[in-house]
Amino acid sequence: MFSDKDIAHFSNLETPFYYYDLNLLRETLKVCSEAANAYNFHVHYAMKANFNDKVLAQIKQAGFGADAVSGGEVKKAIESGFANNKVVFAGVGKSDREINYALDQDIFCFNVESLQELQVINELAEKKGKVAKVAIRINPNVDAHTHANITTGLDENKFGINSWDMPACADILSVSANLEFVGIHFHIGSQITNLDVYKNLCVRVNEFAAWFEDKNFKVKVLNVGGGLGIDYHNPNAQIPNFEAYFKIFADFLDIKPHQEVHFELGRALVGQSSSLISRVLYVKNGKKKNFIVLDAGMTELMRPALYQAYHQIENISPKTTETTVKYDVVGPICESTDCFGKEVALQETFRNDLIAIRSTGAYGEVMASNYNLRDAIVTVTSEDY
């Protein structure tokens, strides 16, 4: 929802740009933090969702740790002031260089995704005379009931170590002097809106934790990943129900006194606090279709082209007519998939009208590219005016 002041300010700016509502971001972080603290749960923010400096500064200030998926993200987390013992490093393909860098930074732990990676981390840690903390990312074969392209915890997905490899994993851990096993890690997918799937995850977490403890491995960390979705169809319902989400884990996980529960939330923390603001370049009225051509495209926001993802589209210019028209809202990029929405009902729209594409705080700016030699992304925050 934009105030008259916001819209007046946007009218004077060049488009496109990502707008961040830092008040909403702070409020979301506060609600999440309070809900997690009530259960003594720990949240590492999944940086991949958004690593804009101004966003990261708020997240750090709210006391969250950082979940990184590349050496670059580990570096960014450290440089942004996240404590090294609050940085975790996941990823199915960590290079030796990235592992060495993370070892040098003494991060909290590596979430290890293959047996071979476990051996490599042990070798690299040995060369440095260090002991690397590791959590085993297990593929639990739990269906997240989300878009197939953002499901990560099924047997056919590349992520994590399969359950049948756990005995081999335990063998490697037992003989690897430079590895310290800290716990188990899971992440079944993103944009999860059916919270019941987390109950199925809890059942699997309990099974694997018991399995490791039976083998005399102390499971200190139960890391259940992230994935909590947001309501893209209702961008003004801005703060996800963190309380209901955490309660499921409190109710269904079998948490022992020596265990901590860790989460890696990305989208739910940042998704609703941003919109992509764009201008209409051209309106093309056809016999069968009307098109609005924006100055933002899939190079700024890739999700619709990549996953046919829905983002609410609004014409935020002052209304000059009561007529509603259906438009295909497209970008200027030379790709037919460069389309933000088909048959979108909007007030009759004209050249230079401002269009807001909502709920773009997660996997928006960070997935931008300069394909077609597009200009670099510009960001504006609620504190810039």
Ligand X SMILES: Cc1ncc(COP(=O)(O)O)c(C=O)c1O
Ligand Y SMILES: N[C@@H](CCCC[NH3+])C(=O)O
Which residues does the annotation mark as catalytic?
A: 334
CB of 32 to ligand X, least distance (A): 11
Q: H or E stretch including 197? A: helix 196-214
Task: Give, in degrees to the nearest 5, the angle at Cα 305 between 11 and 25.
Answer: 50
Choose the contact partner of 303 out of ligand X, ligand Y, none; CB within 5 to 8 A by kind.
Answer: ligand Y
Residue 72 or 318: which CB sits closer to ligand X? 72
CB closer to ligand Y, 152 vs 272? 152
| CB 134 within 8 Å of CB 174 | no
| C-alpha atoms less than 13 angstroms from C-alpha of 89 in its C-beta half-sphere | 31
E strands within 194-338?
A: 221-223, 260-263, 274-285, 290-294, 313-315, 324-330
Contact between 46 and ligand X by CB under 6 A: the answer reads yes
Task: Work out whether 49 is an interface residue with ligand X (CB under 6 A).
Answer: yes
Q: Is 150 in the site for ligand Y (CB under 6 A)?
A: yes
Contact flag: residue 191 with ligand Y (CB under 6 A): yes
What residue 90 binds from ligand X, ligand Y, none (CB within 5 to 8 A, per partner kind)? ligand X
Q: CB of residue 363 vs ligand Y: minimum separation in angstroms? A: 3
Q: Determine, following the binding rule CB under 6 A, whether residue 359 of this chain makes contact with ligand Y.
A: no
- If the CB atoms of residues 231 and 348 are measured against ligand Y, the closer one turns out to be 231
Asked if 266 touches ligand X (CB under 6 A), the answer is: yes
| Size of the residue set binding ligand X (CB under 6 A) | 17
Task: Report whether 110 contacts 128 (CB < 8 A).
Answer: no
Task: State which residue, 45 or 212, has the beta carbon closest to ligand X.
Answer: 45
Q: Which two tokens stand for residue 150?
A: 């953002």
Shortest Å distance, C-beta 129 to ligand X? 29
Which residues between 340 and 369 bind ligand X (CB under 6 A)? 362
Pairing of strands 354-357, 313-315: antiparallel
**What residues contact 115, with CB distance under 8 A and at least 6 apart?**
161, 165, 168, 169, 172
Give me the helix-helix angle, 22-38 and 242-252, nearest 10°.
20
Site for ligand Y in 264-303 (CB under 6 A): 303
Site residues for ligand Y per CB under 6 A: 48, 150, 152, 190-191, 303, 363
